[in-house]
């Protein structure tokens, strides 16, 4: 299953997120962009957040306009507490409502042997994946609580590598393992506010991030053979799972790590 990046916009939504306001970090490409498109198609207003201004704005331009408010893009380095605080203030200034759906899907990785890894490389990966998720989820869950947003949904992005480990990606696997544990723990604290927190663990998905894996062409058949469904996933497939978690259809679901891996 391979779709172009505008495939979600060729489909007609059924209003599953009608009236909702979704904020998506990492929305400038890959899974984040696909999620923005699916959320918008289903009636949500979407705030697209990315460190890449061009990518974020391109995503906004690709969104169907079915929500109550205009979609907007925000350039933010989620590894900075000050930057995330400014993001919160900008969103509050631009909208009369606060997000009731938050998807923290930002990520970065390198292909680095553990014995060769330096502190800077390790910190960069952990800061984006784990610290960034902490800062975003904390800031916007506080906003939900302060504004008494019942039925809020927070979705984070883990990885199959968090559970299985991954040679040359120990830093990435560790950061995503932290995201899984963080999400499950936060879910226990936020449940009393009727705010749900779940984490999605993708396997091999065709995204710009996956392309940073530096897998030799001759190794690809072996990689694909290891997946029971016999192919890489598409971002839209992960986005559809995020849609379910964002919607009221998953209203009794929190603290869960949901794998989407093609059977691995």
Q: Which residues are catalytic?
A: 172
Per-residue HEC secondary structure of the chain comes to CCCCCCHHHHCCCCCCCCCCEEEEECCCCHHHHHHHHHHHHCCCEEEEEECCHHHHHHHHHHCCCCCCCCCEEEECCCCCHHHHHHHHHHHHHHCCCCCCEEEECCCCCCCCCHHHCCHHHHHHHHHHHHHHHHHHHHHHHHHHHHCCCCCCEEEEECCHHHHHCCCCCHHHHHHHHHHHHHHHHHHHHHHHHCCEEEEEEECCECCHHHHCCCCCHHHHHHHHHCCCCCCCECHHHHHHHHHHHHCHHHCCCCCCEEEECCCC
Q: Report the distance separating Cα 249 and Cα 170, nearest Å.
A: 35
Nearest to 159 by CA among 219, 121, 201, 190: 201
């Amino acid at each position: 299953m391979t779709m172009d990046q505008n495939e979600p916009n060729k489909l007609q939504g059924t209003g599953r997120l009608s009236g909702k306001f979704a904020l998506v970090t990492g929305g400038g490409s890959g899974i984040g962009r696909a999620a923005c498109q699916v959320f918008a198609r289903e009636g949500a207003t979407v705030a697209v957040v990315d460190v890449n201004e061009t990518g974020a704005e391109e995503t906004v331009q690709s969104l169907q306009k079915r929500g109550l408010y205009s979609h907007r893009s925000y350039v933010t380095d989620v590894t900075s507490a000050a930057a995330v605080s400014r993001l919160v203030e900008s969103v509050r200034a631009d909208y009369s409502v606060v997000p009731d759906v938050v998807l923290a899907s930002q990520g970065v990785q390198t292909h680095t042997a553990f014995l060769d890894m330096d502190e800077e490389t390790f910190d960069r990966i952990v800061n984006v994946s784990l610290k960034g998720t902490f800062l975003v989820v904390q800031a916007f869950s506080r906003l939900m609580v302060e504004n008494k947003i019942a039925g809020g949904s927070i979705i984070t992005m883990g990885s199959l590598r968090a559970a299985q480990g991954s040679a040359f990606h120990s830093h990435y696997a560790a950061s995503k393992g932290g995201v899984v544990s963080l999400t499950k723990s936060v879910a226990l604290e936020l449940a009393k506010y009727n705010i749900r927190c779940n984490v999605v663990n993708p396997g091999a998905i065709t995204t710009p991030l996956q392309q940073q894996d530096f897998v030799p062409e001759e190794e690809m058949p072996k990689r694909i053979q290891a997946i029971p469904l016999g192919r890489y996933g598409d971002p839209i497939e992960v986005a559809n799972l995020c849609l379910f978690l964002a919607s009221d259809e998953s209203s009794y679901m929190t603290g869960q790590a949901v794998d989407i891996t093609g059977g691995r």
